[in-house]
Amino acid sequence: MMEKNYFYDEFSDRFMISCKKSDEKVVGSVRVLNVTLDFASNGKIVNVEIRNISEYLFSLGLNAGVLNDLKNAQLMFKQYRDGYVLYFILTTAQGNIERIPFNVPMKQNLVTA
């Protein structure tokens, strides 16, 4: 059985996704608005946490209930203008897929793979 790489804490309304490999160590973090990005020593983003996720989903016209019914979660990064768009790709137990965008303004390139 594959271990989950995501966690939703309903009490504090935080959602976390990890793409950290077992040999990678978190060496630093950056907070952008309500998102925290954790970096490995090679500069790769390995964890993402978004606070007040239900409010953010509501602002996008989405139901936060999807967070309690997840089967899988992934991260995707796309360079866009003067930053990146971070996507939370959420798959529910029923097979529905939600792509949640979050803009991350950055002055320099990130390592995302």
pLDDT digits (tens, 9 = 90+) for 92-107: 888 888 888 888 776 6
Domain ranges of the chain: 6-105
Please give the pLDDT value at position 111.
Answer: 54
pTM of the entire structure?
A: 0.78
> Which of 27-36, 56-65, 72-81 is predicted least confidently?
72-81
61: left (phi over 0), alpha (psi -120 to 50) or beta: left
